[in-house]
Amino acid sequence: MKILFESSGKPYSFIYVSYCMAMRRKPYSQAVQEITESTDKLIDFDIFSMNAAKIMAASKMNQRGPFQGILIIRDKIYDPEGVLSEIWDSICKPACELKTILINSQKQNRQRLLVDLTENKFENVADNLWKIFKRLIPFCMGVDTLGLTAASKLLFSVFPEIALPVEKVQWQKLFQTIDFADVLRLIRKEISEWERSSRHGLTECDSSHSTTLPEIYNAVALRLFRNPSATSA
């Protein structure tokens, strides 16, 4: 199954992808935009914790499970169990090192880094994200969840230019793997295929010219899984 293509193999139109972007829930799209802007130049605990709290709230993942009760009140984070601090202590070194690599790669368009990185550099980034992802899993596991969805959203809160916030149904029906590096390889390949077939750049579907490729891909995925019968506009 592919997100950017109809079952016939025809690529979804530029218009349809733009429509998916426009139809995102406002709280979620706003959180995504703020996360993208805040991580442009650096990452530290304050940025990570604010972004993590935003995406968990926007995804309603703060209503139960390991992140239950995490809130933003008057621009301050309420984290009753100190979960975000523990997570940052675990990932801060590799996360900051990888962010430096990505920032130094921004001679290229940040929004398009997922496909524009050279193959060798992409593989290095994907492998490092997979290592960080595995560090996140123990903090994200719950009674009835492996923690894959929460871990991917935490990665996105630090690396929106390259990481995909994968929903539960996407893990189960689309990717069918727990290897986050493999997920990135799949979407990088599919986006490149869509751009060749449609003769458009995927970032052209974003009128703000600030949204990253993973965000656009995810907007289409969210729309299709909510409406499996959706067809090209």
Q: What is the pLDDT of residue 112?
A: 93
CA distance 160 to 155: 8
Tell me the percentage of the chain whose pLDDT exceeds 70: 94
CA distance 29 to 58: 9
Q: How confident is the model at residue 230 (pLDDT cuts 50, 70, 90)?
A: very low
Q: Supply the pTM of this predicted model.
A: 0.89
Q: N- to C-terminal Cα distance for the chain?
A: 19
Determine contact, residues 103/114, Cβ cutoff 8 Å.
no
Determine contact, residues 186/136, Cβ cutoff 8 Å.
no
> H or E element: which one contains 78?
strand 76-78
pLDDT higher than threshold 90 for residue 209: no
Q: What is the pLDDT of residue 107?
A: 65
What is the distance, to the nearest Å, from the Cα of residue 188 to the centroid of all Cα atoms in its chain?
13
Q: Which of 132, 113, 109, 110 is nearest to 121 (CA)?
A: 113
Q: What is the pLDDT of residue 75?
A: 87
Mean pLDDT of the 6-14 span = 92
Mean pLDDT of the 141-164 span = 90
Mean pLDDT of the 35-44 span = 93
The mean of the pLDDT values for the chain is: 89
CA distance 164 to 186: 11
pLDDT higher than threshold 90 for residue 126: yes
Q: E-assigned strands of the chain? A: 71-73, 76-78
Q: What is the pLDDT of residues 92-119, one digit of tens each?
A: 999 999 999 998 876 668 899 999 999 9
Helix (H, G, I), strand (E, B) or coil at 142: strand
Least confidently predicted of 94-98, 203-207, 212-216 = 203-207
CA distance 84 to 110: 26
Mean pLDDT of the 2-21 span = 92
Q: Which two tokens stand for residue 209?
A: 């010219």
Helix (H, G, I), strand (E, B) or coil at 17: helix
CA-to-CA dists, residue 74 to 18, 48, 71, 157, angstroms: 33, 17, 10, 20
